[in-house]
Amino acid sequence: MNSIRKQFSDLYDKALIRYQTSPLRSTDFPDMSANEEHYIDILYGLGQTTLTEFSEKAKISKPAATRIIHAFLKKGYLEKTPSQTDKRVFYLELIPDLQEHCRKNFQLADTIFSDMLLVLTEEERDQLSYLITKVNKEFDA
């Protein structure tokens, strides 16, 4: 098992180095921490969302989500819009520049991952997909 862990770790490190050193990586927000980037990625995936939806997706408490959202609003990362139907609800959405930053970085990550899979046959990719799905199901439980 230790060998698989090491192989996975080595592969992850190689992919991360390619990502971090790529000239295609967005550098529009250089002061963003890795932790902030994690929550920004979640918000990007959600699109227009609410605080509750964000806290559930991020698997954090509502008070923690509130602190993160307030910090992002203060930094100008988010736009906050009141609901037209329920004045208690506000919608959150990344500013357009940050959406573009995320789009570029997600596209780069997809390209790097696709490049890594080029060495596999279609059958091997299917096997890998099956195995990853199996492991993912255990983490969802």
Q: In this predicted structure, what is the pLDDT of residue 141? A: 62
Domain residue spans of the chain: 25-110
- Given a cut of 70, whether residue 1 has pLDDT beyond it is no
Q: In this predicted structure, what is the pLDDT of residue 2? A: 73
Measured torsion, CA atoms of residues 105, 110, 116, 119, in degrees rounded to the nearest 10: -150
- Return the structure tokens found at 136: 């993912």
> What mean pLDDT is predicted for residues 19-38?
89
At 68-80, the pLDDT tens digits run 999 999 999 999 9
At 98-116, the pLDDT tens digits run 999 999 999 999 999 999 9
Residues in the chain: 141
Containing 92, the helix (H) or strand (E) segment is strand 90-94
DSSP state of 49: B
Q: In this predicted structure, what is the pLDDT of residue 24? A: 87
Architecture of domain 25-110: Orthogonal Bundle (1.10)
The residues near 69 (Cβ < 8 Å, ≥ 6 apart) are 51, 54, 78, 92
At 45-100, the pLDDT tens digits run 999 999 999 999 999 999 999 999 999 999 999 999 999 999 889 999 999 999 99
Tell me the whole-structure pTM to 2 decimals.
0.82
